[in-house]
Chains A and B, each alone.
Chain A
Amino acid sequence: SQTIHQWPATLVQPVGSPLSLECTVEGTSNPNLYWYRQAAGRGLQLLFYSVGIGQISSEVPQNLSASRPQDRQFILSSKKLLLSDSGFYLCAWSVLGGLGDTQYFGPGTRLTVL
């Protein structure tokens, strides 16, 4: 069966510090991978998606970046965090099928920027 992991689970970082969040998927090959941010009281916001190694599409211009160094690994990074980067970050994977794009979410990372 497929499993998606995210780490760390929680993170507290000072403004201006770098960020690296990691997501890995097990039990599937060549998945589509996604990074979302969830703010309190708002719907999930798609940040990045990737259809293959080294292929990254950005949905929202900001100081975050994403990379996919391996087929089942997706990394979210920042060189300098802002207060507005605080939130709940979710990684998801999907494989295109008969019902469109069914996405499966990881457990999430709670990021607090102070």
Chain B
Amino acid sequence: KNQVEQSPQSLIILEGKNCTLQCNYTVSPFSNLRWYKQDTGRGPVSLTIMTFSENTKSNGRYTATLDADTKQSSLHITASQLSDSASYICVVSRGDYKLSFGAGTTVTVRA
């Protein structure tokens, strides 16, 4: 069964601190993995996308890593800001129309 598991379910960090979110997947075949940011009450917005041959991708203060052998990915947020408060969703694609979504990690950044 194609599954995507994210951890932790939620976390609280102080502004300016770093944090790392985890994603484990069993999706096969594998085409690419995306991290989305979803603000409360809004649609998800893509942060990064990585294919099998890529093991790291950055987008500003967001850095995603991928280990296709162990089927694990992480999203690292550096120097967090209040605007980083959101849900972060790991999404794995087989290369067709059907994506596999994680349940998301809710990040709360406090001043």
In the bound complex, residues from chain A placing their C-beta under 8 Å from that of B78 are: none
Min distance, Cβ A46 to any Cβ of chain B, angstroms: 6
A43 within 8 Å of B (CB atoms): yes
B95 and A101 form a contact (CB under 8 A):
yes
Complex: chain A residue closest to B106, CB-CB: A41
* Count, A-B residue pairs, CB within 8 A: 56
Q: A43-B102, A43-B103, A102-B49 are in contact. Are A107 and B42 (CB under 8 A)?
A: yes
From B43, B51, B99, contact of A101 by CB (8 A):
B99
A32 and B49 form a contact (CB under 8 A):
no
How many chain B residues touch A (CB < 8 A): the figure is 26
Considering only residues 17-49 of chain A, those with a C-beta below 8 Å from chain B are: 32, 34, 41-44, 46, 49
How many chain A residues touch B (CB < 8 A): the figure is 25
In the bound complex, residues from chain B placing their C-beta under 8 Å from that of A105 are: 43-45
From B42, B43, B51, B89, contact of A99 by CB (8 A):
B51
In the bound complex, residues from chain B placing their C-beta under 8 Å from that of A42 are: 103
Alpha-carbon gap, A28 to B67, bound state (A): 34
In the bound complex, residues from chain B placing their C-beta under 8 Å from that of A104 are: 46
Flag A44-88 by CB within 8 Å of B: 1 or 0 each. Answer: 101001010000000100000000000000000000000000001
13 pairs from A and B in contact (CB 8 Å cutoff): A41-B9, A43-B4, A43-B100, A44-B44, A51-B97, A90-B43, A99-B31, A99-B51, A100-B31, A100-B96, A101-B97, A105-B43, A106-B43
Where the two chains meet, the residues of A that have a C-beta atom closer than 8 Å to any C-beta of B are 32, 34, 41-44, 46, 49, 51, 59, 88, 90, 92, 94, 99-108, 110
Where the two chains meet, the residues of B that have a C-beta atom closer than 8 Å to any C-beta of A are 4, 9, 31-32, 34, 41-46, 49, 51, 89, 93-104
